[in-house]
Each structure stands twice: as C-alpha cells, then as structure tokens.
Structure 1
Amino acid sequence: MELKTYTEFKKIIKEKRLEGPIIIYGDENHLIDESIKIIYNIIKSFQEMNIVKLDGENITLDDIINACETLPFMEDKKIVHIRKAAFLNKAPGMTEDFVKNFSNYIKNLPDGIILLLTLQGSVDSTNAVFKVIKSTGYVIEYKPMRGEELQRWVLESFNKNGKVINKYELNYFIMEAGSSLEQLEREVEKVCAYASEEVITKQHIDEVVHKSIESNIFKMVDSISRKDADKAISILNALLFQKEEHLKILGMIIRQIRLMYLIRAYLDEKRSPSEINRDLKLNEFVLNNLIKQSKAYTVEGLKKLLSLCLETDYNLKNGTYSSDFYGLALETLIVELCK
C-alpha cells in the first residue's frame, strides 16, 4: 500500500496496523527521522534487543535473515531497520540475485517482524524489493510539505506545545520561518517558550523568529516592486553577509518573479485567488502578497523582469563574471529591475 502523507502514516501507527515491511524514502529528511522515531517507539521494552539496525550499503541476505528469524525478546514485535537501503536503486555492488532473493524472502517474513527500509532521496520503482513491499506492506515518499499539509503540521506543533495560533498568524509564521520542517520546529519551540500567553500573535513572531531566506527574498522582491533599490540591495547585502550563495539568491528571485508572472496572467483571465491556488498550492499569506505585488506590473513587464534575471543567471554560470564580482552583478540586476 502506498501512503501519501505523514498524516496517513501516523494513522496506521495509531491503529496499530504496522507489521511486515515498510519503505520510507524521499527528500524531506526531517519527516523520515520523525517516522523512524515513531516506529522505534512501538517497542516498549528492551529496545536494544528488539531493534536491529543494519547498514544497507554493506549488507548480505544472511544478515537480514538472521536478524528477522531471531525471536523478539519479551515483546510481540521486533524491528529490523535497514538504513541507507541503497539496493532500492541500482547501487554498485548489489547483484540482481540479492534483490531477487531478498524480494522473495519478504513474501514470507516471520510474524511480529517490522522490516523497515529507509533511504534519503529517490528509489527505483521497478526494483523487485520495492514492488513486493508496495503490494504486501507500506511505502511512503516524503516530499517537501506544501499548502494545507504544511499548515496542519505547523498547527499541530503549536498545539503540542500548548499554544493556539490563528490562521493569519499561522500563514505569517510559515512565510517568516521558511519551509524547512527542522527550522520550523525550532522556531515553533522558540515562539512557544517566549510567549507567556496561550494565543500566539504576530508580535510574538516578529520578536523571536529568525527570518528565513524565503522571507528575505520575498521582502527584496517587494522592495523591487516598489522601485526601492536601496532597500532591496540592503536585504541582498544582509543575505550575502549571512553566507547565502549568490546563485541560490538569484534562483529564488527568479522563482518569485515567475510566480508573479503566472499570477498576473491568471488575474488577467479573471481567476479568483482560490482558483489560482488550486494550481500553485501556495501558503495563503504568500499568495495574497504575491497577488498584491503582481498587480504592480503587466504580464509583459514581468516577462521583461524574468528575461533580465535569466540573462544574469546565464552570465554567472558561464563565466562572464568572476566570482569576486557576483555581488556586483546582483546589485546591478536589482537596479535594472527597479527601473
């Protein structure tokens, strides 16, 4: 069975349905780590004896069989965790025989065994092990959270800390703190520790949250839309002082202007914000502000801004500027964008 979200994963844990094989993979490392902790906590006693950890980059079928065939100690379940399960891709050193024989073994796992395979990154969906586990157990891919799923995760984090946060403040918090779950969790803890009141306010957020690069890029492009080159360059210099990479900054500027271009085109088609967000799946606070920014331009005007950005991107990547002049190139771009 393929699980689509972290919420679905927690549901099978809550209902005590997890047994047999499960693959957890993807680019959202924080959720992978959190899911591992949740699965480990199924074992209430003698974890050191009932949780076996194996290295998937250096493993044999005998290692797996020996771990799975040993009975749990004073528990009804045992976890065999294969970390860095590189054989889920075409990993060097992993033979086709290993994958074939392992996939056959999975079909007859002993009762009480939770066989957990984890991998950061993608998997080969045609891999025999992956296909067997998808049909007999669970697979879940964690992609970076967006939209309502991200809002729900942050809201639950505040609630777990005994705090209440309303929708406007929730969206504002996400925009300021960024989209990294690890960063968001740290910032939630900071705000909750700082706020003596139960309800979190915008003032609490402004006073303690570390502004993410996404938040600063947003404010930089907002300054550009208001033709305030000095403010935009000031934000750029602050990001460079924080050791943010020039190409990363430029890439995020391009992304935001591209979103503004799409939104401006949607607005010209008389689409409502809800219709626009069905396609873009943005944080509501971010969407509303991007709509405001995009209204300062025409579609052709935004196309011109994109062209300027892409030209600078090409020049940085193809050696027109030496790395010592990347900062100057970005400042020059901001001045051009503000004209």
Structure 2
Amino acid sequence: MITYEVYEQEIQKGNVKKGYVFCGLDEELIKDGINLIIKREVAEEVKELNLIKIDGMNTSFDDIMNACETMPFMGEKKVVIVYRASFLQDKSDSSGTKIYNNIKDYVLNLPPYTILIMYYLLSDKRDRPNKNKKLTTLGKTLPIVHCDKLKKDKYLKKVSDIFKEKGKQIGRVELSYFCEKVPNNFDIIKREADKLISYCDSREIKKEDINLLISNSNEDDIFDLVELIAIKKVDKAIDIMKEILYKSDQHMLIISAIQKHFLRLYEMKCKLIKGKKVEDFMVEYRLPQFVCEKLVTQTNRFTEKQLAELIRLCVKTETKLKSTGIEKSMEMEFLLINTLTVKK
C-alpha cells in the first residue's frame, strides 16, 4: 500500500502500472489522482472512446471484463474506471463477493493496452484499509493507493493549484489561513474556493472575506455534535467528540465552544419568540444568510427550557475539568450521556 504522494511521484516519473486500487474518505482527492493517469495516457480527442467509467455499485464482472478487453481506438492505451466499487469493501453481499473473486483472478492477466482503476470510499476515519483482506490480496497484483491527508506543503500547493485552475490568485498568508479554516476534504475545499472567488470577483481575496464566508472546521464539528444531541443519537455524538479531541486535544476549549454554541442557540430562541427573523440575526451576528438559517433550524430542535439546562450541564462539566485528577475525556462523554436526561 502506498500514499498519494508516492503515487503522484511515480506517475510524474512515467512509471504507470497496469492498474490501481484507490481508497480513502476524500473522493475528490481520489479523482484528482486518477486524472493524473488520464491526462498522461488518454488523448483529449479520443477520450470519449478510450475512457470508460463504470458504476461499481451497479455492475457485473462481465461489464468490467468486456470494457477491459475492447481494444483502444486510435491510441495505445485505454483507461477503465470502476468508481465506488462496493465489492472491494471488506464486507459485501454475495453478489459483491462474486465480482471480487472474479476480478482478483482477472487482474493477473489484464490486456497490455488497458489500465484498470478501481476505487471505493472508506466509511469513516476509523476504517483502516490495511485491515481489509481483499485489498491485501489485490495488493500483490495492483498498487493500492491510500488517499489520506496530504503533508502540509503538498496540501498547501494542491489548494493553491485549485485557485489557479479557477483563474484566481490567492496570497500565501491568505492561502494558509484558508487551509486552517476549511476541513481537509477537497470536495468541500473546491466548493468553498468557488464561493470565495464569486464573492471577491475581480479583487484580491482578504482574510476578512475568508472569515465572513467560511466558519471554522471545529465550529462545523460542534454544530454536528449538537445536532446529534438534538435527535438523541449520543453514541454518534461521542464518536464526533473523539474526532474533535483527536484533531485538537484541548478539552477546555472544546467544552467552551459547545457551551458558547448552546448560549447562541438560547439567545436566538428567546429572540425568535419575540419575533426576530433570519435577517435580524445576519445583522446582529454578522454572519452570512445560510449560516443564520442553519442556526435557526437547529434552534427550533430545542425548547427554551432544554437549552437552559444544557448550558448548566456545560458549566458543571467545565468546573469538573478544571479539577485535578479528573479523566477529562470520560467527563466529556458523561456530558453527552447526561443530555439524554434533559426534558423538554
């Protein structure tokens, strides 16, 4: 199994194999990796004929084999992409297992003119491809590319290239700040870049623009966590809590952020009762409309009494965290479990 960086270096050297299996959480990063091969091996004028894409969730082995066996048209190579190939997941149904077993044997003797690329998406951050026995077996024949987080320099360059491809320059300071604010997910990064470019139009991008349009990734995590509390899915809320702590092992800052979020929801709840609208919150909190709309929707999931009690729970937990000899992560989990006892 190789990293995205190693794979990229190999392609740049012209060392292209007969096939690849990609896996990861970030589908856009996987697609970017696949495009490196397409640009190198398939001429633009014959792309429609020599580039075949197959839905891996709705296919058969015969579909894949027939695509691979067909000769390329006016070119030396053709690329066959099987996207979202669910049959590569460690656990699959009988149909998926049958496809995998056939593919496992078939890739041993791929036609010399075909590059077969397959990929599947990991279910979450705890899904480890090196534990997948199917990949271990396929890895003896095809390179397995794990598209995990890029190293800082590579990450910054790739994000910078996204702005350049869209015809927009971004300063080094602003680029670093942008990367700190957005989640490490290229689908989200591209959408946030589009938003910034449209907003700034012909002028240069400033930090103030980034602050206005993009919330902190931690803020998004806190929003998701509170949403799970609202629908009583505490087990999933605990998973998100662990991910937040993994990224930033600062319990006091996180409990403070949760408390602050509940306080804002409480304020908005009181003001909504008095007749305030989304437009009023946009002015008061200096937030974009879509952010205020999300907050109002979440506010409506709680009663005023619930929000007051949730704030009290946060204060109580914060006090405990300041004590010595406390298992902080456990206290944070207790907080989430105790939210189940909060009545409307």
Normalising by structure 1, we get a TM-score of 0.61
RMSD over aligned CA atoms reads 4.3
Is 2:218 the partner of 1:214? Answer: yes
Q: Which moved more, 1:88-97 or 1:20-29?
A: 88-97
Asked if structure 2 preserves the Cα contact closer than 8 Å seen for 1:163 and 1:192, the reply is no
In the alignment, which residue of structure 2 is the partner of 1:286?
none
Asked if structure 1 preserves the Cα contact closer than 8 Å seen for 2:21 and 2:117, the reply is yes
SS at match of 1:188: helix
- Cα pair distance change 1:115/1:93, threshold 3 Å: same
Is 2:28 the partner of 1:30? Answer: yes
1:155-234 pair list within 5 angstroms: 155-160=160-165, 161-167=167-173, 169-192=174-197, 194=200, 196=202, 200-207=205-212, 209-215=213-219, 233-234=263-264
In the alignment, which residue of structure 2 is the partner of 1:320?
341
User: Aligned partners of 2:106, 2:71: CA distance in 1, in Å?
Assistant: 17
Deviation at 1:151, TM superposition (A): 3.3
User: Aligned partners of 1:244, 1:141: CA distance in 2, in Å?
Assistant: 39
Q: How many residues align?
A: 267
Asked if structure 1 preserves the Cα contact closer than 8 Å seen for 2:265 and 2:299, the reply is no
Deviation at 1:118, TM superposition (A): 1.4
1:293-308 pair list within 5 angstroms: 300=323, 303=326
- Cα pair distance change 1:231/1:302, threshold 3 Å: farther
In the alignment, which residue of structure 2 is the partner of 1:85?
85
Deviation by residue 1:267-320 (Cα, 9 ceiling, x = unmatched): xxxxxxxxxxxxxxxxxxxxxxxxxxxxxx99746958756532220123xx42
User: Aligned partners of 1:309, 1:321: CA distance in 2, in Å?
Assistant: 16
1:51-62 pair list within 5 angstroms: 51-62=51-62
Q: Which moved more, 1:179-188 or 1:106-115?
A: 179-188
Asked if structure 2 preserves the Cα contact closer than 8 Å seen for 1:177 and 1:210, the reply is yes
**Amino-acid identity (%):** 22
Structure 1 gaps, min length 5 = 247-256, 258-296, 326-339
In the alignment, which residue of structure 2 is the partner of 1:9?
7
In the alignment, which residue of structure 2 is the partner of 1:20?
18
SS at match of 1:23: strand
In the alignment, which residue of structure 2 is the partner of 1:134?
139
In the alignment, which residue of structure 2 is the partner of 1:108?
109
The code of the aligned residue for 1:315 comes to N
Deviation by residue 1:106-162 (Cα, 9 ceiling, x = unmatched): 1111112110111111556322xx345423332112235575553343233345445
User: Aligned partners of 2:342, 2:329: CA distance in 1, in Å?
Assistant: 20
- Cα pair distance change 1:301/1:216, threshold 3 Å: farther
SS at match of 2:115: strand
User: Aligned partners of 2:253, 2:100: CA distance in 1, in Å?
Assistant: 52
User: Aligned partners of 1:48, 1:244: CA distance in 2, in Å?
Assistant: 49
Deviation at 1:231, TM superposition (A): 8.4
Is 2:334 the partner of 1:311? Answer: yes
Structure 2 gaps, min length 5 = 223-251, 269-291, 302-313, 315-319
- Cα pair distance change 1:195/1:66, threshold 3 Å: closer
User: Aligned partners of 1:52, 1:202: CA distance in 2, in Å?
Assistant: 42
User: Aligned partners of 2:187, 2:62: CA distance in 1, in Å?
Assistant: 36
Deviation at 1:18, TM superposition (A): 2.4
- Cα pair distance change 1:141/1:14, threshold 3 Å: same
User: Aligned partners of 2:84, 2:207: CA distance in 1, in Å?
Assistant: 41
SS at match of 2:338: helix
User: Aligned partners of 2:260, 2:55: CA distance in 1, in Å?
Assistant: 53
In the alignment, which residue of structure 2 is the partner of 1:265?
none
SS at match of 1:46: helix
Asked if structure 2 preserves the Cα contact closer than 8 Å seen for 1:85 and 1:118, the reply is yes
- Cα pair distance change 1:43/1:150, threshold 3 Å: same
Normalising by structure 2, we get a TM-score of 0.61
1:58-73 pair list within 5 angstroms: 58-73=58-73
User: Aligned partners of 2:98, 2:82: CA distance in 1, in Å?
Assistant: 18
User: Aligned partners of 2:182, 2:111: CA distance in 1, in Å?
Assistant: 45
Deviation at 1:94, TM superposition (A): 3.4
